[in-house]
Amino acid sequence: MDVAAEVVQRVAELRRLLDHHNYRYYVLDDPEIPDSQYDRLLRELQTLEAHHPALITPDSPTQRVGAPPAAAFAEVRHEIPMLSLENGFEETEAREFDRRVREHLEVAELDYTVEPKLDGLAVSLRYEAGQLVRGATRGDGLRGEDITHAIRTIHAIPLRLRDGAPPLLEVRGEVFMPLAGFQRLNEAARAEGKPGFANPRNAAAGSLRQLDPAVTARRPLDMFCYGVGSLAGASLPRHHSEILAQLQDWGLRVCPEWRRVSGIDACLQVYREILQRRAELPYEIDGMVYKVDRLDQQRDLGFVSRAPRWALAHKFPAQEALTRVEDIQIQVGRTGALTPVARLAPVSVAGVTVTNATLHNEDEVRRKDVRVGDTVVIRRAGDVIPEVLRVLPEQRPADTREFRMPARCPECGSEVIRPEGEAVARCVGGLICRAQRKGALKHYASRRAMDIEGLGDKLLDQLIARDLVHTPADLYTLDVAQLAGLERMGQKSAENLLAQLERSKTTSLAQFLYALGIREVGEATARALAGHFGRLETIMQADPTSLEQVPDIGPKVASQIHAFFQETHNREVVRDLQALGVGWTDTRAVPTERTLAGQTVVLTGTLAGMSRDEARNRLLALGAKVSGSVSRKTSLVVAGDNPGSKLEKARELGVRVVDEAGLQRLLAGEAPD
């Protein structure tokens, strides 16, 4: 029967696509699509050829492994072909594999070795008289590339085997790049303005196929061995699991996660266990390999054109997938950080339907040049938030536009600023921004700010959920009836909280400035501002140059203070707070002489004459830095009653220690004993 023209055309198109992607993957080490997309194309071609055998040709991608050797490397012919493995994606396919091999061997149950399928580059190592003489890539399975110069730089590969190794041994395994090393490599590349590698597999392949071995030597490569090819002068054990143990005895590394089990149910149990721990492993794997353990049974089962019948690669759900960017929206975090998020056409990744992916920050969006309408590769590993790895520019629509961070916050309309030297853009509407509301209110009420006792997380959640409080000023408009109606808040609790709010209206200018939650303004900076300017109005109107005249305030902090008070909404909240009775003595403060500037003081134990907070604030006013831990940089330790381990540490390091009387003399401007 004639094959339909559209089937012939689709087979030709699939072969063209697969050849193209094979070239990108194996020769250029620069894949355009994730493995899962390649697997889908290959399976579609396999299905069409299975239904129409007349279309199968010797050069079809279904009949070949990998790609031919590159011209830049000498060719190596493998004495025993390095074949690929049959893939299975569902549990039913694993069970079907088990059924086939058992029926062929006429046995009820089989022993298997189960090994992680490493996501690296398959290589062959040849040892003669125990000495490494050649390393080669798998290539197309029959011919590979001579990469001995690169292989010799990998510390995990022994240049000489241990005593007892056979006169001739060809061992097969996977060269890979550990995840930590991959991350360091990409960070270093980006720091130099160079593009990073797409994934650890391509980083490993690109490193191995360098012509200069010095480049390979600088790359963090590793290797696990998983089998033997040629062998002379010795015999192999009867089981594959014994071969793995033998390889270790000869000084070669094998993956520590392999298991020997009985039956397909046990294989699947190991599969599920390792899948659960996949994100914790220090290297990437994309599935588990089931191998019939007995070598005589392997020989009986034999091979098909491109794979052994006695092994199956049971792939994990793909961690990468192709999808389309439908929109780029901005999320505002509780600290005001603006994060661009890609809204995606729904796609299944690692067994989960993904519709959003983080784009991190403006620089990352521009570096990857992600645009609405783009086709992108996304990745989801373990519980990590999905991210866009790269764009496929060849599939970009003509009408796309570059991403621009908004000048105004999408939540509250306040100005968005990005301080020089920082990657993150932030909304300056800290007092009125919906996204920052709880964080701003919680900070305002905290002990070292306005010290409003009883206004905790759960109560704030209820006030916000019922839309009773939008800004700190709204706290002072609450009444007993509103508060008493909240969960776990009766009449008495409501009255107590209102009393705390009333008490908080009388404060210091420094505490009020700190309570506003201006980014980079801590207690010491707030105190310095209050001491230098004396009046809130003056601070609100100060330009960055004036603000930089305050001790310890540099350009970055000055810009944050200026931006905060330039925002109309923030000024309105400050005015509302003053109108509701929040106030302080608004006369110019006499600057305190900073007699302790440059000194680091640690407080430990209980003080009788003052609280630790009071002591801390008075030390800060004198210019000291108050630390919570003792180190060689500590200038002085103040020890009250029951001082604990900090006193012991101070004595060990020879740091000066004074008691409370010494602290009082220090605060009075006298030298402590």
Give tens-digit pLDDT for 389-445.
889 988 999 999 999 999 999 989 999 998 777 888 999 988 889 889 988 999 999
Mean pLDDT of the chain: 88
Catalytic positions, written as ranges: 117
Domains and their CATH numbers in the chain = 5-63 (1.10.287.610), 76-315 (3.30.470.30), 320-395 (2.40.50.140), 406-591 (1.10.150.20), 600-667 (3.40.50.10190)
Residues forming beta bridges with residue 289, ordered by sequence position:
115, 313
Provide mean pLDDT across the span 95-106: 96
Distances (CA, A) of 109 to 261, 312, 585, 601: 11, 16, 87, 72
Structure tokens at 290: 């089931």
Cβ distance 535 to 613 under 8 Å?
no
pLDDT tens digits, 625-654: 888 888 988 999 999 888 888 888 889 899
For residue 116, count other CB atoms closer than 10 A to its CB: 25
Those residues with Cβ within 8 angstroms of residue 170's Cβ, 6 or more apart along the chain or in another chain? 79, 80, 124, 125, 126, 127, 228, 229, 230, 231
Burial of 509 from C-beta contacts in 10 A (0-12 / 13-18 / 19+)? buried
3-state secondary structure of 430: coil
Q: Please count the CA atoms within 13 angstroms of the CA of 120 that sit on its side-chain side.
A: 28
pLDDT of residue 136: 94
Answer whether residue 567 shows pLDDT above 50.
yes
Give the Cα separation of 338 and 330 in Å (integer). 6
Give the Cα separation of 236 and 214 in Å (integer). 36
- Angle at CA of residue 557, ends 555 and 560, nearest 5°: 105
Provide mean pLDDT across the span 268-272: 96
Residues forming beta bridges with residue 672, ordered by sequence position:
none
Distances (CA, A) of 590 to 110, 426, 502: 88, 35, 28
Structure tokens at 233: 């002068």
Residue corresponding to tokens 């266990």: 273
Q: Is the dihedral of CA 365, 369, 371, 377 positive or negative?
A: negative
Those residues with Cβ within 8 angstroms of residue 422's Cβ, 6 or more apart along the chain or in another chain? none
Q: What share of the chain is helix, strand, coil (3-state, %, to 5)?
A: 40, 20, 40
Answer whether residue 257 shows pLDDT above 80.
yes
Those residues with Cβ within 8 angstroms of residue 297's Cβ, 6 or more apart along the chain or in another chain? 101, 105, 110, 310
pLDDT tens digits, 20-64: 887 676 556 567 787 778 888 888 888 888 888 888 887 677 765
pLDDT tens digits, 320-364: 889 999 999 999 987 889 999 999 999 888 777 889 998 988 988
pLDDT of residue 25: 65
3-state secondary structure of 569: helix
pLDDT of residue 173: 96
pLDDT of residue 381: 66
Q: Is the dihedral of CA 358, 363, 368, 369 positive or negative?
A: positive
pLDDT of residue 416: 93
Instruction: Give 33-94 as a DSSP string.
Output: S-HHHHHHHHHHHHHHHHH-GGG--TTSGGG--S-PPPTTS-EEE-SS------EE-SHHHH
What are the backbone angles phi and psi of residue 80, rounded to the nearest 5°? -115, 125
Cβ distance 501 to 453 under 8 Å?
no
Those residues with Cβ within 8 angstroms of residue 9's Cβ, 6 or more apart along the chain or in another chain? none
What are the backbone angles phi and psi of residue 624, rounded to the nearest 5°? -75, 155
Alpha helices by DSSP H, listed for 446-550, are: 457-465, 472-475, 480-484, 491-504, 509-515, 523-533, 536-541, 544-547
Provide mean pLDDT across the span 189-196: 78
Strand bridging mode 285-292 / 111-118? antiparallel
Distances (CA, A) of 377 to 36, 205, 286, 652: 11, 20, 17, 56
Answer whether residue 70 shows pLDDT above 70.
no
- The one-letter amino acid code at 453 reads E
Distances (CA, A) of 392 to 323, 325, 374, 463: 10, 11, 7, 47
Confidence of residue 592 (pLDDT cuts 50, 70, 90): low
For residue 196, count other CB atoms closer than 10 A to its CB: 17
Give the Cα separation of 661 and 673 in Å (integer). 9
pLDDT of residue 577: 95
Those residues with Cβ within 8 angstroms of residue 117's Cβ, 6 or more apart along the chain or in another chain? 85, 285, 286, 287, 288, 289, 313, 315
Polymer length in residues for the chain? 673
Those residues with Cβ within 8 angstroms of residue 444's Cβ, 6 or more apart along the chain or in another chain? 450, 452, 472, 475, 515, 516, 517
Burial of 672 from C-beta contacts in 10 A (0-12 / 13-18 / 19+)? middle
Nearest to 596 by CA among 512, 511, 545, 670: 670
- 4 or 138: which carries more pLDDT confidence? 138
pLDDT of residue 46: 85
Residue corresponding to tokens 């302080």: 584
Cβ distance 474 to 579 under 8 Å?
no
H or E stretch covering 189: helix 179-191
Answer whether residue 301 shows pLDDT above 80.
yes
Confidence of residue 71 (pLDDT cuts 50, 70, 90): low
Answer whether residue 85 shows pLDDT above 50.
yes
Answer whether residue 1 shows pLDDT above 50.
no
Give the Cα separation of 342 and 371 in Å (integer). 9
Answer whether residue 244 shows pLDDT above 90.
yes
- The one-letter amino acid code at 556 reads K
